Amino acid sequence: MSRFGAGFLGGHVRKSTFVPAATGTVAGNMSLSAFAFDGLTNVTSAKCAVRSGGATGVEGYIGKNYSPAKIIDKVVIYGANDTGFHLNYGSQGVTLSLYGKNGSAPSSGTDGTLLGTISIPSNINESAGRTITSFDHATFWDYVWVNNPPLNSNYIPICAELEIYELA
């Protein structure tokens, strides 16, 4: 998969560049967050970041805090190859949302500016990755994350890998 694409900002062509996983600090409410930035995309749910405490029916969100802030082009998020984006995934679909925020850390998965969404139909193997493209290619963001909402009280949000791309 190419880590480059074209974007426009102020009449200039900009490149979409992968932000190395070691850049920034992890933000969000998922434990085992190192799994989401280890470069492994085809893993079982046992090797995923998971909503802290294994709380069911509660949103999970994971991303990065950047200094200096970055203009986000897109993210690619990977789910587990055995359960998708939730433990006990079953047959329901999910809508994942990309957010950005400046200043203080987000206090919830929706405490920021919505930058993009993707709706995923019922699917168990999500190891191919799903791309969420930002609607905003002009704002520098301190925090960027993906929100994985609860489907119902039986589901626990997870994330196998999150790749973040900036416009450079």
- CA–CA separation, 79 and 40 (whole Å): 11
Question: Does 5 reside within a domain?
Answer: no
Integer CA distances (angstroms), 6 to 16, 117, 137, 158, in order: 6, 20, 11, 30
Question: Does 9 reside within a domain?
Answer: no
Question: Does 155 reside within a domain?
Answer: yes
Query: At residue 159, does pLDDT exceed 70?
Result: yes
Question: Does 112 reside within a domain?
Answer: yes
Q: Tell me what pLDDT residue 154 has.
A: 76
pTM score of the predicted model: 0.89
Question: Does 105 reside within a domain?
Answer: yes
Question: Does 52 reside within a domain?
Answer: yes
Domains of the chain: total: 1
Query: At residue 18, does pLDDT exceed 60?
Result: yes
Convert the pLDDT of each residue in 145-155 to its tens digit. 999 987 777 78
Convert the pLDDT of each residue in 81-127 to its tens digit. 988 888 866 667 889 999 999 999 999 999 999 999 999 887 678 99
* Domain around 147: 19-167
CATH code of the domain covering residue 91: 2.60.120.260
Average pLDDT rounded to a whole number, residues 63-74 = 98
CB distance 61 to 147 below 8 Å: yes
Question: Does 6 reside within a domain?
Answer: no
- CA–CA separation, 119 and 87 (whole Å): 18
